[in-house]
Each structure stands twice: as structure tokens, then as C-alpha cells.
Structure 1
Amino acid sequence: MNTSTPPIDLRNPYVRAIAFGRMAGVLGLQIIIVAVGWQLYELTNSAWSLGIVGIIELVPVLLLMVPAGNLADRMARRNMAIYAQIVMFAAAVGLMVAAATYAPTWMIYVMIVLVGVSRAFSAPSVGTILPQLLKPDQFVHANAWVSSGSQFAAAAGPAIGGFLIAATGSTVTAYAVAAACQLVYIALLLTLPRVGPPPSSVKRSMAEVLAGFTFIRDNPLFLAAITLDLFAVVLGGVVVLLPLFAKDILDVGPIGLGWLRAAPALGSLTMALVQARISPWQRPGAVMLGAFFGFGLATMGFGLSTNFALSIACLFLTGAFDSVSVVVRTSLEQIITPDPLRGRVSSVNYIFIGMSNEFGAFRSGASAALLGAVPAVVGGGVAVLAVVGAVMLKWPQLVKLGPLHTLLPKLPNVEKT
């Protein structure tokens, strides 16, 4: 282990600002998601109105992510992140007004589009601020702390949103709290130094616009990591089926469903805190492969379980294993990506991760409808194990990967010209 730089934690003002800022942002977003679902179903009593929310939010992400990544490489990323959160604040306020005035459903959908726009510009900016402010051997611990805050918010946000709706009988207060969370995020971002865009002598061209895709294609280690994450989420995701398992298989009702939904986030939070305290992995590639193998086994265990406690334990493990892969993949991306390209690479990475969540939900639902819930989940876990084996054969260098901070950034040809 390289001991030239001491492990970093929340005492560092940059890590503290990003960790607590993202925690506030994720908390507000989760509250918005819960409140929008409740509000729409109250207004329409239609499952279809709920189903199209994800698509409406995903469209601006897909359309704007590549331009947003390019913009993140041409302006101060802190400022871009602030503008993105201002849009999210505006969306929360708009939803609050819509709830208070009993506005038509189209206004709610317009605000959801704004949520998608905010996320499109937030991902390539927020995720690339810390690499400008820290040393490479600090990235792993910093990402672990940031992930801890995000996972805590992901676990607490839905519960807080539901409590606020139940306590007030309306979604207005929930949206107000979500808006306040975005203001906290903006205030913390303002404490960070403004770092100008990295210098680049490359002329604007389509090749430069798509340089994020080129970089990932030409870097087998990162391509392998993204492939693992993509297929694990698509094949092993079970969240969309949890209501079915809670009602028909485990017979634990809505309270049990709440625990099932919280278990993966609690596992992720626990493992992120562990990774924030231990030394960085000496063989991160092998650790990532092992984590995905464990994720597949835990998914299979959940599918086969008829015991509530065992099901909770399996879901907890899926979250813990996923946390390992997130920290390793995020740190790998930050270390091997040159600063002039970080926005574009981050945007491409977010496209794959965002699409994998949507396709994973579709795959789980469709497989359960065709095969049954248990075969769909168990088969997904088996498929994850097969993907791990295929990645090991395709990219054997991932197994041999040493400490991440020993890697060096590599510019693609488009940036060398």
C-alpha cells in the first residue's frame, strides 16, 4: 500500500461538502419519487400513469447526456453542478405548486422532465469535481464516504417521503422538504473552489464530442468494469419484483415490503462505511469479480428463499456486493480518465448505468410474467455468474489489476492531435 498520503475522510472539506451535498440531493430526489408516485396514482388511479414516469425522466437524460458531458469539460464543473441543482430545486417547487393547486397531470410530467434535465447535467459535473481537488491515492476512500452518504439517503428518503405524506395527508410538505434539500446541496457546492476547465488545444469535432465512447472502447479495464455492472443490473435486479415476493411468497405485507426495499441500501451503506475505513484493495479487479460472483449467489438465494429473515439477508448482501463494485468502478474511472475527458466519460458511464436500471426492471417483470417470479430471479442470478466467467475470459487483465492509484491516465488519439 502506498502510504505517501494518509487516508482521507470527512474531515477533508472537499469530501465533506460532496458527501453531505450528494446525501441531501439524493434524499430530496427520493422524496420526489415517492411523492410523485403517490400524487399521480391519487389523481389517475392508473398504473400506466406510474409506468411512464421513468420513461419521461429517462428521455432527457439520453438526449442531453452527451452534450452535458462535453459542457462539463469546457466550464467550471462546480458551477455546472450548481446550475443542475437549481433546475432540480425548480422542479421540486413546481411539483409543490402543482400539488397545492390541484394542477392537471401534464404539469407533473413537465416537472419530471426538469428532473431528468437536472440529472443529465448533474452526473458528469458532480462526479468529476473531487478528482480535480484530490490526489489519485485518495480517490477510493473519498468515493467510499460519498457512497455512504448517498446510500443512507437512498434508504431513508422513501421512508421520510412516505411519513411526510401520511402525516400531512398531502404531498405539498414532501415537495417542500425536497426543495430544501436541493438548497442545502447548492449551499455546500458553493463552498468548493471554482476550478476552470482543463486546457485543450483540440478543435471541436464529432470525434471530440464522442470521445467518451472512444475512451471507454479503447480501455479494456474500464470496459470490463462497465460490462460487469451493466449486465449484473440488467440480469440480477429484483427490486421491481419485491411487492410480488412480499405478498405472494413471503406473506409479510406492506411493512415487510418496506424492510425488503431497505435491505439492499442498508447493505450498500454498511459496506461503503467499511471500505472508507480499510486500506484500498490491492487486487481491486479480482475483488470486483468476486463481488459480482457474490451478488449472483445472493440473488439466487433470495429467489429460492421462503423465509423472511433469509430473504432480508440475501438482499442485504446484494447491496453490500454492489457497493464494492461501485467504489472500485468509480475510482477506476476517475484515476484512468484524463481530466480534460472526465465529463464526457462520466456522461457515457451514466448512460449505461441509467439504461441498465430501466432495462433491468423490464427484464425482471417480463421474465416473471413468462416464467414465474422464482425462476426469473434464480435464472438472473445464474446469468450473472455466467457473465462473471465470460468477463474473466475476455479481459483476463482485470484479474491481475494492481492497486488503482498506481495506474496512469491515458489520452485517446482525439486528445493527442
Structure 2
Amino acid sequence: MTTKSNKPDPYQALRYREFNVFLLLRFAMVFAWSMQFIVIEWEVYSLTKDPLSLGFIGLMEVIPAILMALFAGHIVDQREKKGMLVKCILGFSVISLGLFLLTWPKFSGGLSKSGVLGLIYFLVFLGGIVRAFLGPTIFSLLSLIIPKKVYPNAATWSSSVWQIGAVMGPALAGFSINWIGVHWSMCLVFGCSILSLIALSQISKKPILNPKIGESISDSLTEGLTFVFKNKTVLGALTLDMVAVLFGGAVALLPVFAQDILKVGSEGFGILRAAPAVGAFITMFVSAYVPLYKNAGKKLLVAIFIFGLSIILFGLSISFWLSVFALFLSGLADGISVVIRQTILQLKTPDHMRGRVGAVNSIFVGSSNELGAFESGLTARLMGAVVSVVFGGSVTLFTVIVTALKSPTFRNLDLQRDMDDHHKLE
């Protein structure tokens, strides 16, 4: 589908009703999950005043997410995707309801501080199990609700919506903590999960495209891992993003910066969290009109390099508004990175392996958010928050430079040929 001027239609994927429903569903889930994570971070740090406690939140979620990811990918490839997604959202709803109750003084008033912390960590751990299945399921469902020829445009919109939800959720969390408190902020999270279930009811059941139904787990996982590690384009994109998220996780320490360094309180915390959202909005609209698939390798390297610089700038800043600008820049660069990576994965992954490739993606990138939170919390405990953030940004820059020098194939990656192959399907 192209416009009359034969230029790519930036709204191509949006002309499919189920895809619009999918975007609403994905935004609601990402928004709720990321908002919940920040609300709990604030609550835990307020209880402990220990940056390492923030790291433990990430660790509690990432352990089951990594351990279950490959098994989850196998299950997703074997099952009907809408039914799997219903189970995932129901699981998240139960967890968010539990956290809502734990932050209610009338419910948790009889519990000790350590008891509340233990239950929070337990629910976060259960959330990691749910997330192991959620990522591969959503990645697989996307390819079933639109034609192949629309994949690149759909990947742009889907990854942009993901990015916006991932930064708007925490941004609203910062403001809502100030306006209505932690307890009612968790109520908003629960409401978003219900909205997701309502949206999902508008998507029909989809066929199972896997020709190897009943395949053993070992054979299935071997095939998925072999594909990822032999496909240098997919592996390179995943690795770069993993390093950026793992070592550039300055946002995990925002409660520390807001409360103890910049001293701007929960309202300033909300502004800091909102800054990347502005960058994500810009990324969404620009990438819809200016496709990022040409010279994708160079663009991805530049985007992650700018991301690393912005993290270093944030760590060194003692000015609130300079810190806001640095986070805005990080959201802009990270948004470009996410769009390119998702386009690569959608174009390069066979239909019957989407669950397993989505699972590997969740290990490399999704789970590294929580590992990054733990890394940031641990290094902040050992060397201070500022040094921790600057160190993480520097590692990101080093990785980009090494990749650019050592991998000319990835540096020169251009997805134009893949785009041409998909347009032939029209």
C-alpha cells in the first residue's frame, strides 16, 4: 500500500482495525508495567533509603524472566496467541492487585517493614514469570494481525508505542505519587490491566503457523538459539541494545537523584521521568515519515552512541534542567534504537520461530532493564550514584566504538533489500 505519489504510506499499518486495537493493548500493558515498576521503586527506597534495594527489585524480576524465557518461547510457538495473552494479562492483574493491597495502610498496617518488603519482592518475582511469556506472545501476535508487506511500518508504530508507554508510565508515576500517593497510583496500574483485557477481546483468535507442533522442547530451543546466534544482523542488534540498557540504566537511580542529589522531590522526579517521553513522541512521528531502514546499521550505532553521551551528561549534571535535557536526549536516541531493532527482528524472523526469537529478545533486551537496575543499584552502593551513571554511559560508548570498528558488516547494514522483497508482496 503506497500513496498516490508512490511514496511509502506512513499510516499503512494503521489502516488495519485489529492493529489499532493491538497498539492500544500494547500501550496499556507497557504503560502499566513501567508505571508499576517506578511506583514500587519509590516505595521501596522510601522505606529503606538504600540504593541497593532498588537493584534487588530488578533482580527479583529478571531471575525468573531469564530462567523461563526460552521455555516460554517454545510454549508460545506451540499455542494460540490470543489465549496466551489473556493468561499473561490476568497474571499481571493479580500481581498489580496484590501490590495495590500492600501499599494500603489498612491492609499492610499489621505487617513489619521487612514483611512488606518481602511480599513486594515476591510479587515482583511472580511478575518476572509473567513477563517471560508476555514478550514473546506480543511479538508473535503482531505478525498475525497484519500482512507481511506491512511488517516494517507496523514495527515502527509498535516499537514507538512501546517506547512511549515505557517512558510515559514512569513519568505519570512520578506525578501521581505526588498527587494521589503510592496506593492510588497502584490502582491506576490495575485499571490499565483491565483496559488491556477489554481491548484484547476485540482481536480474534489466530491460527498456529508452527509446522512442528509437538516438537520436543530441546529440539525447539536448539533451533531458536541456533537461528539467533547464526544471524549476525539479529545478534548484533540485540547485543548493542542489551549493553545500552544494561549499563545505561540511569533511570533506575532517578529516585536517588530526585531525592538526594538534585533535591527536587516527587514532582521533580515526575518531570525527570517525563523527559524521555518527549523524545519518544518525536521518534514516533519522525520515524513514521522518515523510514529508518536505509543505512540502518550506521543509524543504530549513532543512536546508541548519543544515548551513552546523554547518560554521562545526566550523571555529571548538577542542574535540574540540564538533567531534564539529558534524559530527553536519551529518550530520543533510545526510541530510534528500538524502532530499528524491532524492524530488524520483524523482517528477519521466520513466522514459526517468532515466539522463540521474541524470548531471546526478552533475555537480551527486556530483562537487561532489570539487570541494569541491579547493576546501577550495586555500583551506586559501591561507588556512588554519579560515578555509577557515568561508568554505565562510558561502557555504552566503548561498546559502540568497538562494534563499529570490528563489525563492518553490521556497520554497513541496509534493510532496503528486505523492504523491496516485502513490497513485491503487494
1:195 aligned to 2:213? no
Aligned-residue identity in percent: 34
After superposition, the C-alpha distances for 1:265-316 in whole angstroms (9 at most, x for unaligned) are 3212321232123234311111111111222222333334343333322221
Aligned length, in residue pairs: 407
Aligned to 1:207: 219
1:23 aligned to 2:27? yes
1:6 aligned to 2:19? no
Q: Equivalent residues in 2 for 1:15-414 (5 A)?
A: 15-37=19-41, 47=50, 51-98=55-102, 99=104, 101-102=107-108, 104=111, 105=116, 107-161=119-173, 171=183, 173-201=184-212, 203-246=215-258, 250=262, 252-403=264-415, 406=418
Structure 1 residue identity aligned to 2:408: P
TM-score (norm. length: structure 1): 0.85
CA contact (8 A) 2:80 2:206 kept: yes
Shift of 1:221: 0.6
CA contact (8 A) 1:336 1:408 kept: no
CA 397–311 in structure 1, closer or farther in 2 if over 3 Å, else same? same
CA contact (8 A) 1:221 1:395 kept: no
TM-score (norm. length: structure 2): 0.83
CA contact (8 A) 1:70 1:343 kept: yes
3-state SS, counterpart of residue 128 of structure 1: helix
CA 258–396 in structure 1, closer or farther in 2 if over 3 Å, else same? same
CA 302–210 in structure 1, closer or farther in 2 if over 3 Å, else same? same
Structure 1 residue identity aligned to 2:194: L
Structure 2 unaligned segments of length 5 or more: list them.
Answer: 422-426
Structure 2 residue identity aligned to 1:94: G
Larger RCO: 1 or 2 (CA < 8 Å, sep 6+): 2
Structure 2 residue identity aligned to 1:263: A
CA contact (8 A) 2:170 2:274 kept: no
C-alpha separation in 2, matches of 1:122 and 1:208? 19
Shift of 1:218: 0.5
Tell me whether 314-323 or 153-162 shows the greater mean CA deviation.
153-162
Structure 1 unaligned segments of length 5 or more: list them.
Answer: 410-417
C-alpha separation in 1, matches of 2:91 and 2:237? 31
CA contact (8 A) 1:220 1:395 kept: no
State the superposition RMSD in angstroms.
Answer: 3.2
C-alpha separation in 1, matches of 2:289 and 2:16? 15
C-alpha separation in 1, matches of 2:292 and 2:75? 32
3-state SS, counterpart of residue 192 of structure 1: coil
CA 380–110 in structure 1, closer or farther in 2 if over 3 Å, else same? closer
Structure 2 residue identity aligned to 1:91: I
Shift of 1:169: 5.6
C-alpha separation in 2, matches of 1:324 and 1:405? 20
CA contact (8 A) 2:272 2:324 kept: yes
CA 148–326 in structure 1, closer or farther in 2 if over 3 Å, else same? closer
